[in-house]
Structure 1
Amino acid sequence: MTSVSTQISFENLPKLSYNPSTYASWRKAIKVYLQIGDVWNVVSGNDTKPGREGVRPATERAGSVPPTVLIEGQVVGRRITGEELKEWEKWQARENKAQGMIKGTVTEAAMLDLSEKMSAKEMWDYCLKMHVTATNENQRNVHQALFSYDLREDATAEEMAKHVEDFSKTMAEAKLVGLNFDSQERAGLFLNTILAPAYRIKVTGPGTKCCRSLMQKR
């Protein structure tokens, strides 16, 4: 029976930078990467440090120190031991792995800012917020990509297949940057890539104003 490898090389993953155009491809790839690494729940906040009582100090890096258990009448708590410590060490490995995965998929400039974040969750949230102010530019880039597709009349079967695949990828990127087209709008956009200009459909939906302006430029 043939086994399927779930290892992904850093070199094959898009790098996130402060350039808005890098966000969509990075966001799609890194989520799959984290899921394969079994650390998605760490960055999403659903896999939290076991045994901790209270809030982690802001200057303490997650996974660096085992938590303590508060003891009534004592100022200093007791470090966890036994099974509690084993569970924490398993979580520590996941936390460190998640931090490394995120750091490995950003540029050096972004890495400098991430080094100040004390947990994988904080790093993840920072990466997502990096391009919030550039949402309009991201959306415009995707719109431009969607309206750049134009399948020639005598396209081969291979060209048709690639055309469909590329369009589907761009539509997936549209969702990542907040452009949610319904099924009718997606169908209309795709038909416009294979129809002659005179027969193209006026598509309404997310970013309609941008869509119309781009259609007028064609």
Structure 2
Amino acid sequence: MSENAIRPALRTVRGSATLAVVGLGLAGAAWALRAVWDVRLAMAGEPAAGPPDQGEGRHRPLTALEDGYHLVSTAANLLTLLCAALFIGWLWRMRDNARALSGERPRYAGIWVYASWVVPLANLWIPRGIVADIHRKSAPDRKLPAVVNVWWALWLVGTVTGVGLMYDGDTDDLIVRAYHGVTTLLVADLAVVGAAVAGILMVRALAAVQRVHMDD
């Protein structure tokens, strides 16, 4: 198949890449703010009244700092969902273009673009595999950018620490952790921030590879 025959099937990636970068930037900023709040809670120390959840269904009134942490955590979670939607939108477009450029089927079925992030065990390698497959089909003569592995390593740290992106506990439990063991919280927070920064660099690098084949 000639390059001229492939080009009409390509879709511009500039807009979707920009949105993905914005989403990653907002999510990274929100998690950085959460890290600041973790430190503030640790420095303030647990109030004499004890943890917010007093047990047996009883909760004491939150302090202003604790109430602020709830707001910051909610914002971080919402911005992470927005980031996920924008990133997946970019990934789909890049995947379609990679298929057009190579004439080959993607390594992973389309359902994995969504499911691979949440299915246990699959989420440890398939998302990176999708990105690597896009790059290989877009530029088979180029080595995978190192930033892809940096992004994925930081993402895994922020996911599997038990207090990061996949944490499903109560925010009040996180507040208690900040009072009594803030280190793991900070590791997760900073890993997510680092993954967002690396993700921005990755999006820009991979989008640039495809843009050489089209006129944006």
> Is TM more than 0.5 here?
no
Kindly indicate which of the two structures has a greater share of residues assigned to helix. 2
Q: Which has the higher contact order (CA 8 A, sep 6+)?
A: 2
TM range (shorter): under 0.3
Report which of the two structures shows the higher radius of gyration computed on alpha carbons: 1
